[in-house]
Structure 1
Amino acid sequence: MDLSPITDTLGDLPTAALMGLLVGIFFGVAAERSAFCLRAATVEFAHGRLGPRMAVWLLAFSSAVIWVQAARLQGYIDTDAARMMSVTGSISGAIIGGLIFGAGMILARGCPGRLLVLAATGNLRSILSGLLFAVTAQMTLHGWLSGVRTQLAQLWTTPDGRNIDLSAGLGLPEWGALLVGALCAALALFLAWRNRISAGILIFGAGVGVTVAIGYFLTYSLSQVAFDPVSVTSVTFTGPSANTLMAMLVPFEGWSFDVGLVPGVFIGSFLAAWVAGVLRFQSFESAAQTRRAMVGAVMMGFGGMLAGGCSIGNGVSGTSVMALTAWIALFSMWIGGMITDRLVDQRREEGRDQPSPRSFKLHL
């Protein structure tokens, strides 16, 4: 794909920002219409169910793996050049950060991507949680929490200054990762059939994964013709949220894919919700719910930055290029989420099911 005419007109970095905006719009539409969310899938799994949320998440995940790996095999993308693969990976950060992030998304009732989508539809709870997430992510990257993050991240890192390709580490053939994606897609379609998910939801769910592949394809194509350094990246929200926040608070320092991504997701989600007629303001129901969401958002901001990405940056974009730390972080997020759901939400539900002392006496 020859992007020279566009870069000659706009410049390299503004073109990257435009790509982020377009990818964000597509992602926002797909995520809003499919209700894609790792937290919802985790809760279903923790309750022993493989329901519609799990089917949608698995479909988006497998779609990203299939399209990214197919593009790699055809030479359209060099996954080794992806930003996540070209830097030292932190295994300790993926484990610790993933566990913290997973717990946080349960408390906040949504991962960062889902919070951004809901914020665009008028959910005031998501707006507050999203802002706290972005502030904490920035503090973890460059502020008061950066020292703690650095120490934890350096406990266990990948060798040779690069992340590890999981496919190569496991000795899989060139098409091995594509086969993994195909098997996951088959499971996702089976769950979708069993849960009677509509074709529209399936298309939008798969569209989330396709958007990730488009992001990699566009940024890789741009990196081949740009004079300025352009990161090969795709959809993620931890770093971009922090960068977008700073772009709004301090004098503008430059364009990037990240700066365009977050506004794009907001626009796409808003348009999708507007067309569907589901725009409505929603607020917190109690002070306890507010505290819970605030704690969860802070945990996600710190955990996501420590893990090297959020549930989408690691769980979809990172895993699709077979980055070892992304797979570890995704697994840790699932574990952290399920443990928190069990200790907080399921225990509360069990307590509600227990008869009170007064009602118990009435039954005697």
Structure 2
Amino acid sequence: MLNSLIDLYGDSAVMCAAGLLVGLLFGAAAAHSKFCLRAATVEVSEGQPGPRLAVWLVAFFAALVTVQGTILVGALDTSDARQLAATGSMSGAIIGGLMFGAGMILARGCVSRLLVLSATGNLRAIVTGLVVTIVAQAALSGALSPLRETLALLWTVPGGSTRSVMTTLGMGVPLLTVIAALALMGALIFGRAHRVPLSELAAATLVGLAVSVGWAATYAISQISFEVIAVQSVTFTGPSTDTLMALVTAPDVIPSFGLGLVPGVFIGALLTALIKGEARIQRFDADSPMERYLVGGVLMGFGSMLAGGCAVGAGMAGGSIMALTAWVAVFCMWVGAMITHRWMSSRPQMVQSV
């Protein structure tokens, strides 16, 4: 069937359609589960781990177990994925991760959460998301790219086995899959103990599954295409910049996985918000100062490009294939977020509802 679709519509169109379907699943599931790394870090930094941490853990371990399980049965090979095959930057993962973590606290959401909130009518998220996208593009190929490259080259690791956590730990796929399955069960039990509704836990599991489906779909297409197809999964900073640039500069847009993913997430989140009656306009006000969101957007835009991805792209997609720099990046995102939240909590005038 996949061969027929590629013959009929072409590789690019099929990749775009795959991104759209994965995006619909991710957007709807993330909206219903209230999936949000920022909220999870806030709970932990306040010493009150609860529902939002449970949702994030379920999503993360669902991605890990399904990706590794797919690799185990021979339906996926991620050795050529950028996060493993290309030269990685440890300095970028550390510095970029810390910046991204601080930024998502200031902006009250990571890049994926901002996209989901934008679909519900949150104007703050739309403006902040645009700032993230513009700064990310500047860091990728614009005025900020020399600084990004300088910081990224401070400490690099070669691609291949050196960049794999599994190689470092001497762990095989079967053992990792079992450990991930047990961790997922623990996360689900933890969620129920904190009275997270079953529907939200199921949706969180689907968030992780969307990451796995992204890897599997792009891998399957790459195996039968005559073109060189990048094996990839859910990530938002790069695709968001591509989508924006395509809208404002490109007369002829070449379809891609990312160009399907972003509108897919938006549509999935919008439909969920409409069904649940949660769509409403939200603006900046005295309790939501614009300057805080703008600074957060700048930090996330630059930080994500330096770290090699956002909280989902590096933290979940990269983490699920055990890329060393991805694990370092998401750890530093946690650290940066917790430090920033504690700093803000010590200044009552800066504290908002979380």
TM range (shorter): over 0.9
**Cα displacement (A) at 1:253:** 4.5
1:349 positional shift: 3.8
Q: Which amino acid in structure 2 is aligned with residue 274 of structure 1?
A: L
- Out of 175-184 and 252-261, give the one that drifted further: 175-184
How far did 1:323 drift? 0.4
Please report how far the alpha carbon of residue 70 of structure 1 lies from its aligned counterpart in structure 2 after TM superposition: 0.2
Identify the residue that residue 313 of structure 1 maps to in structure 2. Answer: 313
Q: 1:69 aligned to 2:68?
A: yes
Partner of 2:294: 294
Q: Which residue of structure 1 aligns with residue 146 of structure 2?
A: 147
Counterpart-to-counterpart distance in 2, 1:232 and 1:149: 24
> Contact conserved, 2:85 with 2:159, CA < 8 A, in 1?
no
Count of aligned pairs between the two proteins? 350
Match of 2:282 in 1: 282
Distance in 2 separating the partners of 1:32 and 1:287 = 23
1:317 Cα deviation after fit: 0.7
Correspondence for 2:165: 166
Please report how far the alpha carbon of residue 160 of structure 1 lies from its aligned counterpart in structure 2 after TM superposition. 4.9
Aligned CA RMSD, in angstroms, stands at 1.6
Query: Quick check: 1:179 aligned with 2:174?
Result: no
Q: 1:287 & 1:299 partners in 2: Cα distance?
A: 21
Cα distance in 2 between the residues matched to 1:8 and 1:350: 60
TM-score (norm 2): 0.96
Counterpart CA distance in 2 for 1:74 and 1:320 is 16
1:40 is the counterpart of 2:26? no
Partner in structure 1 of residue 23 of structure 2: 24
Whole-Å separation in 2 of the counterparts to 1:62 and 1:95: 22
After superposition, residues 1-364 of structure 1 pair within 5 angstroms as 3-160=2-159, 164-251=163-250, 252-286=252-286, 289-344=289-344, 346-349=345-348
> Contact 1:68/1:320 (CA < 8 Å) preserved in 2?
yes
Kindly provide the CA deviation profile for residues 327-355 of structure 1, in whole angstroms up to 9, marking residues without a partner as x: 000000000000000111x1124999xxx
Displacement of 1:254 after TM fit?
1.6
| Counterpart AA for 2:57 | L
Is the Cα contact below 8 Å between 2:84 and 2:159 reproduced in 1? no
| Deviations, residues 284-342 of structure 1 (Å, cap 9, x unaligned) | 11286210001001100000000000000011111000000000000000000000001
Letter in 1 for 2:331: F
Contact 1:13 1:228 in 2 (8 A): no
Deviation at 1:230, TM superposition (A): 1.2
1:158 shift after superposition: 1.0
When structure 1 is superposed on structure 2, of 254-263 and 55-64 the one drifting more is 254-263
Cα deviation for residue 109 of structure 1 reads: 0.3
With normalisation by structure 1, the TM-score equals: 0.93
Partner of 1:358: none
What 5-or-longer segments of structure 2 have no aligned partner?
A: none
Contact 1:87–1:163 (Cα < 8 Å) also in 2:
no
Q: Is the 8 A contact 1:89 1:162 kept in 2?
A: no
CA contact (8 A) 1:236 1:313 kept: yes
Distance 1:92 1:49, change over 3 A: same
Q: Secondary structure at the match of 1:227?
A: coil
Q: For the structure 1 residues 351 and 301, does the alpha-carbon distance in structure 2 shift closer, same or farther, using more than 3 Å as the test? A: closer
- Matched residues in 2 for 1:34 and 1:351: separation? 27
Aligned-residue offset at 1:55: 0.1
Identify if the C-alpha distance between structure 1 residues 202 and 8 changes in structure 2 by more than 3 Å, giving closer, same or farther.
same
Listed one character per residue, the Cα deviations across residues 95-136 of structure 1 (whole Å, up to 9, x for unaligned) are 000000000000000000000000000000000000000111
Q: Is the 8 A contact 1:88 1:163 kept in 2?
A: no
Check conservation: 1:88, 1:162, Cα contact below 8 A. Answer: no
Q: Secondary structure at the match of 1:281?
A: coil
Residues 94, 163 of structure 1: alpha-carbon distance in 2 compared, 3 angstrom cutoff: farther
Equivalent-residue separation in structure 2 for 1:148 and 1:350 (angstroms): 33
Measured after TM superposition, the shift of residue 43 of structure 1 is: 0.4
Residue type of the alignment partner of 2:178: L
8 Å CA contact retained: 2:162, 2:168: no
Mapped to 1, the partners of 2:249 and 2:169 lie a distance apart of 45
* Structure 2 match to 1:362: none
Distance 2:21 2:159 in 1: 35
Matches of 2:305 and 2:180, distance apart in 1? 26
Give the fraction of aligned pairs with identical amino acids, expressed as a percent. Answer: 49
| Kept after mapping to 1: 8 A contact 2:116/2:265 | yes
Q: Structure 1: how far apart are the matches of 2:34 and 2:209?
A: 16
Choose 1 or 2 for highest CA Rg. 1
Tell me: CA distance 1:142–1:127, structure 2 relative to 1, closer, same or farther (3 Å).
Answer: same
Could you tell me whether the CA contact under 8 Å between 1:13 and 1:230 is conserved in 2?
Answer: no
